[in-house]
Amino acid sequence: MDPDFGFPILSVNLLNHIGNTVRVSGWVQRVRRLGALTFVVVRDPAGLLQVAMDRTDERQDLTPESVVVIRGQVVKEPRAPGGVELRHPDIEVVSLVEDVVPINLYTPALAPHLNSLLDWRPLSLRHPSQRLIFRIQAALAQGFRESLREKDFVEVHTPKLIAAASEGGADVFPVKYFEKTAYLAQSPQLYKQMMVGVFGRVFEVGPVFRAEPHATSRHLSEYVSLDAEMGFIDNHRTVMGVLRHVLDVMLTVAAHHDGENSIEWPMVPDPIPSLHFSQALQLISKAWGEDLGKEPDLSPACERWLGEWAKARFGSDFLFVEGYPTSTRPFYTARDPEQPLYSNSFDLLFRGQEIVTGGQRLHRYPDYVAALAERGMSAQGLEGYLRAFQFGMPAHGGFAIGLERLTARLLGLSNIREASLFPRDRTRLTP
Ligand code: AMO
């Protein structure tokens, strides 16, 4: 038998204990009076359970959110949550709440404005709708790990304090690091590439930091990046195939956690439809009646249009856009050997929003020296990274999924902050 470590019995398991006296524990959700009976609804880590007592035994200290330990007899009761209730309870209040709970946690949908929801995060997260978001998110991360382990990828943990920006651009956070300046990692990019030289296939689940000055509904200053990197590939299409498989497993694992079947689960087509960047611009230009041919990137409006197009044309929630202009991609990106102005890189759009970026990387040392020179970039802080390429690296590539973006898109959340336990943005550093 598995040890139970002395934890109280969870509400979901009470059906196996009918007739027994058990110990359960949780938070008082509400107290209801019906005739001569009083019912206390308790929320435990797994769900809700009902405790019934005579009105004469009712207590005044069972205030909402107080933590209680209850000993009582399990009785079958089809009208109660989970089909059982606890009778003849002996209730101990472990933590008494004397204040009025500032948000209503007991309605099916949480009403407050996003800001109050985030200000009261330790409380609002207790609501079932919020708990579901983060259970699904945990399952997505679990699926990511499982799918890659099964394909012999090794999990790595790379530094988050680094000496040089990994993605270029201005959106890095400098940190005072003893006598020097360090930066918070924008991605594990340079390290996951170096680790391909060690293990061949690696992945990482970890926080990354972007100094995003704008308040948008799809950017955070800190988010969870699901990164994979693999060697001995043909080109970026090998990586796209692996990504398709990973997403399929992630969504399958997560769907098991949707107890109420309340989520619209997407199919991951095999293969996921794909468009070249230049083709995407042509299609949108035609549809909008304007020439977007010189655009270096896809705007959010372009992504939304492509999302609708992929749904109408292929019935797909997913669309790859490959071959972004080399000049708009980071220095480590491999060019398309046939058309060097375009790169062997891709974005994956899900329901009209980019949720993944990936591609093939340069793998020869002289190509790095040339790419840095072309962009006027200094090799300072990159010396250790470049050494990997001086001493033999296979053709390789990888991708990074934004966990909060994927979660928000999947669950139809209009703001990415709802998919972060404690979101960080320009104005929010607490709780
Ligand atoms: P990129 O910078 O495109 O690529 O990021 C990869 C994915 O991370 C998510 N993302 C964000 N999510 C929330 N807030 C942000 N500020 C934010 N910025 C990005 C998106 C995006 O698709 N090293 C490359 C990946 C690679 O090529 O392997 C990189 O970091 O979902």
Q: Does the pLDDT of residue 16 top 70, yes or no?
A: yes
Q: Is 220 in the pocket of ligand 1 (CB under 6 A)?
A: yes
Give the long-range contacts of residues 56-60, CB within 8 A, separation 24 or more.
58/31, 58/33, 59/91
Q: Is 400 in the pocket of ligand 1 (CB under 6 A)?
A: yes
Which band of pLDDT confidence, cut at 50, 70 and 90, is reported for residue 380? Answer: confident
In a domain, 103, yes or no: no
Residues 272, 378, single domain; the answer is: yes
- Whole-angstrom Cα distance, residue 81 to residue 371? 62
Closest atom of ligand 1 to 189 CA is 23
Q: Of the candidates 44, 60, 95, which is a domain's last residue? A: 95
Q: Does the pLDDT of residue 108 top 80, yes or no?
A: yes
Indicate the residue type of 363.
Answer: H
In a domain, 4, yes or no: no
Residues 66, 144, single domain; the answer is: no
In a domain, 108, yes or no: no
What pLDDT is attached to residue 421?
98
Within 10 A of 256 (CB to CB), how many other CB atoms are there?
10
What pLDDT is attached to residue 368?
97
Residues 177, 214, single domain; the answer is: yes
Residue identifier of the C-alpha nearest atom 30 of ligand 1 = 187
Residue 33 CA to ligand 1 center (angstroms) comes to 52
Torsion of Cα atoms, 361 then 363 then 368 then 374, to 10°: -50
- The CATH number linked to 232 is 3.30.930.10
Please give the structure tokens belonging to residue 139: 């399952």
Residues 263, 377, single domain; the answer is: yes
Give, for ligand 1, the residue of 349, 357, 420 to mutate: max count of ligand atoms closer than 8 Å to Cβ.
Answer: 357
Question: Domain count of the chain?
Answer: 2
Residues 154, 218, single domain; the answer is: yes
Residue 170 CA to ligand 1 center (angstroms) comes to 15
Q: Does the pLDDT of residue 311 top 80, yes or no?
A: yes
Within 10 A of 124 (CB to CB), how many other CB atoms are there?
18
Residues 298, 400, single domain; the answer is: yes
Instruction: Give 246-297 pLDDT, tens digit per residue.
Output: 999 999 999 998 877 789 999 999 999 999 999 999 999 999 999 998 999 9
Is residue 373 within 8 A of residue 361, CB to CB? The reply is no
Residues 200, 326, single domain; the answer is: yes
In a domain, 356, yes or no: yes
- Whole-angstrom Cα distance, residue 85 to residue 178? 59
Q: Is 357 in the pocket of ligand 1 (CB under 6 A)?
A: yes
Q: Is 89 in the pocket of ligand 1 (CB under 6 A)?
A: no
Which band of pLDDT confidence, cut at 50, 70 and 90, is reported for residue 15? Answer: very high
Q: Is 424 in the pocket of ligand 1 (CB under 6 A)?
A: no
- The CATH number linked to 75 is 2.40.50.140
Residues 157, 42, single domain; the answer is: no
Residues 158, 56, single domain; the answer is: no
Residue 271 CA to ligand 1 center (angstroms) comes to 23
Residue identifier of the C-alpha nearest atom 18 of ligand 1 = 219
Q: Is 210 in the pocket of ligand 1 (CB under 6 A)?
A: yes
What pLDDT is attached to residue 381?
85
In a domain, 111, yes or no: no
What pLDDT is attached to residue 61?
93
What pLDDT is attached to residue 371?
96
- Whole-angstrom Cα distance, residue 256 to residue 240? 25
In a domain, 222, yes or no: yes
Residue 356 CA to ligand 1 center (angstroms) comes to 7
Instruction: Give 128-146 pLDDT, tens digit per residue.
Output: 899 999 999 999 999 999 9
Q: If you average pLDDT over residues 116-122, what whole number do you get?
A: 95
Q: Is 360 in the pocket of ligand 1 (CB under 6 A)?
A: no
Instruction: Give 92-107 pLDDT, tens digit per residue.
Output: 999 999 999 998 888 8
Closest atom of ligand 1 to 225 CA is 8
Instruction: Give 381-402 pLDDT, tens digit per residue.
Output: 899 999 999 999 999 999 999 9
Indicate the residue type of 292.
Answer: L
Backbone angles phi, psi at 359, to 5 degrees: 160, 180
Instruction: Give 169-205 pLDDT, tens digit per residue.
Output: 679 999 999 999 999 999 999 999 999 999 999 999 9
Residue 341 CA to ligand 1 center (angstroms) comes to 22
Residue identifier of the C-alpha nearest atom 25 of ligand 1 = 400
In a domain, 51, yes or no: yes
Q: Of the candidates 95, 113, 147, which is a domain's last residue? A: 95
Q: Is 11 in the pocket of ligand 1 (CB under 6 A)?
A: no
Q: Of the candidates 78, 95, 112, which is a domain's last residue? A: 95
Which band of pLDDT confidence, cut at 50, 70 and 90, is reported for residue 2? Answer: low
> What is the extent of the structural domain holding 41?
11-95
Which band of pLDDT confidence, cut at 50, 70 and 90, is reported for residue 3? Answer: low
Q: If you average pLDDT over residues 325-329, what whole number do you get?
A: 95
What pLDDT is attached to residue 260?
74
Q: Is 188 in the pocket of ligand 1 (CB under 6 A)?
A: no
Residues 19, 159, single domain; the answer is: no
Residue identifier of the C-alpha nearest atom 10 of ligand 1 = 402
- Whole-angstrom Cα distance, residue 188 to residue 195? 10
- Whole-angstrom Cα distance, residue 74 to residue 89? 10
Instruction: Give 39-87 pLDDT, tens digit per residue.
Output: 999 999 999 999 999 999 988 999 999 999 999 999 999 999 999 999 9
What pLDDT is attached to residue 58?
87
Is residue 191 within 8 A of residue 182, CB to CB? The reply is no
Closest atom of ligand 1 to 354 CA is 22
Indicate the residue type of 346.
Answer: F
In a domain, 114, yes or no: no
Residues 152, 234, single domain; the answer is: yes
Residue identifier of the C-alpha nearest atom 17 of ligand 1 = 219
What pLDDT is attached to residue 1?
53
Q: Which residues contact 95 (CB under 8 A, 6 or more apart)?
A: 66, 67
Residues 191, 55, single domain; the answer is: no
